Copies of this chain bind each other. A is one copy, B any other.
Amino acid sequence: MDILVVGSVAFDSIETPFGKGDDVLGGSATYFSTSASFFTGVQLVAVVGDDFPDEPRQFLTSRGVDLAGLQTRPGETFRWNGRYGYDLNEAHTLETHLNVFETFHPQLPEPYRKAEYVFLANIDPELQLEVLRQVERPKLIACDTMNFWIEGKRQELIKTLARVDILVINEGEVRQLADEPNLVKAAEIIRGFGPKTLVVKRGEYGVLMFSEGSIFAAPAYPLEEVFDPTGAGDTFAGGFAGYLAATRNLEERNLRKAIVFGTVMASFTVEKFSLDRLKEIDFKDIETRYKRIKLLTDFADLD
């Protein structure tokens, strides 16, 4: 089953202690789609300016990403300019130019309305709701958000969350959204807003998933070279939700496998700028790293 994603397609200019990239392909929907495409087909909903070239379109199409929902509008594509220090867990935004994204309203092409698996990447919760009004009867709605919407559009976000099955957000944002410093308590509060499952992204510390009566902890894959963390969260979400859509199985056991696949995908993305590393790998590489995470976390039962 395909997965529908709505989010941003952007050009990023990024500086890390290890290098610099100017106007490289980025955006939440781009990372998500490329990652999910290793598992299933993707329907992408986003907007770009008339400056957006053919090459990235061809790349996404070659990965099995359907671009019927990618609007092209007069003006420039969304641009983000950020910097990381040695603490690669935190991005410092230098500039954000929304450009054509400022007036974006998602329009789902007719076939997308039957989407059964939907991922709402980190955009205005009102736009997330617009998407939900256009899909007929999804089996799974997952979504991301950020501090900016938690502060500025809290009521709209809460309204969106009431319709969401799985919320995927950063640890600090869990505490902020729940207004509770203890993560276990905060997770219960947020599950009370609607999402049955909460996936907490903790950067280099991995992921915690809270579901009914169960917590799952997955470490990040330890890397000797972290080059650029941009897109790690969206790549994680793409692997996670893409695997769920591909397997059409939302049981806890399968959710856990999906978390590990998401972790694997994110571990590749951060090894190079933009989507460069994802362009090099194949499914065998993904499986190898999945098995390594199994070894990394394995310990004996009590005798």
A47 to B140, CA, bound (A): 61
A302 to B222, CA, bound (A): 20
Number of interface residues of A (CB under 8 A): 41
Q: Are A216 and B184 in contact (CB under 8 A)?
A: no
CB distance from A290 to the nearest CB of B (A): 6
- Taking the full assembly, how many copies of this chain does it contain? 2
A253 to B202, CA, bound (A): 27
CB distance from A15 to the nearest CB of B (A): 16
Task: Give A47-106 interface residues, CB cut-off 8 Å to B.
Answer: 86-87
A259 to B299, CA, bound (A): 9
Q: Are A223 and B287 in contact (CB under 8 A)?
A: no
Looking at chain A's contact residues, the main secondary structure is mixed
Collect the chain B residues with CB atoms within 8 Å of residue A214's CB: 295
Q: Of B87, B202, B208, B297, which is within 8 A of A217 by CB?
A: B297
Q: Are A300 and B256 in contact (CB under 8 A)?
A: yes
Q: Are A291 and B296 in contact (CB under 8 A)?
A: no
A204 to B200, CA, bound (A): 14
A162 in the interface, Cβ–Cβ < 8 Å? no
A253 to B300, CA, bound (A): 7
A208 to B253, CA, bound (A): 24
Task: Give A191-227 interface residues, CB cut-off 8 Å to B.
Answer: 202, 204-206, 208, 214-219, 222-226
Collect the chain B residues with CB atoms within 8 Å of residue A298's CB: 256
Q: Are B222 and A219 in contact (CB under 8 A)?
A: no
A87 to B295, CA, bound (A): 31
Q: Are B182 and A299 in contact (CB under 8 A)?
A: no
A183 in the interface, Cβ–Cβ < 8 Å? yes
A204 to B171, CA, bound (A): 12
A301 in the interface, Cβ–Cβ < 8 Å? yes
Task: Give A262-303 interface residues, CB cut-off 8 Å to B.
Answer: 287, 290-291, 294-302
CB distance from A141 to the nearest CB of B (A): 24
Collect the chain B residues with CB atoms within 8 Å of residue A138's CB: none
Q: Are A215 and B222 in contact (CB under 8 A)?
A: yes
Q: Are B299 and A216 in contact (CB under 8 A)?
A: yes
Q: Assuming A184-B224, A208-B222, A290-B302, what are 18 further A-B pairs, CB within 8 angstroms?
A: A17-B181, A87-B181, A182-B223, A183-B204, A184-B222, A184-B223, A185-B224, A202-B205, A205-B206, A214-B295, A215-B222, A216-B296, A217-B297, A218-B297, A256-B300, A257-B299, A287-B302, A291-B302
A selection of 9 A-B contacts at a CB cut-off of 8 Å is: A202-B205, A205-B206, A208-B222, A214-B295, A215-B296, A216-B296, A259-B299, A294-B301, A297-B299
A interface residues, Cβ below 8 angstroms from B: 17, 86-87, 181-185, 202, 204-206, 208, 214-219, 222-226, 253, 256-257, 259-260, 287, 290-291, 294-302
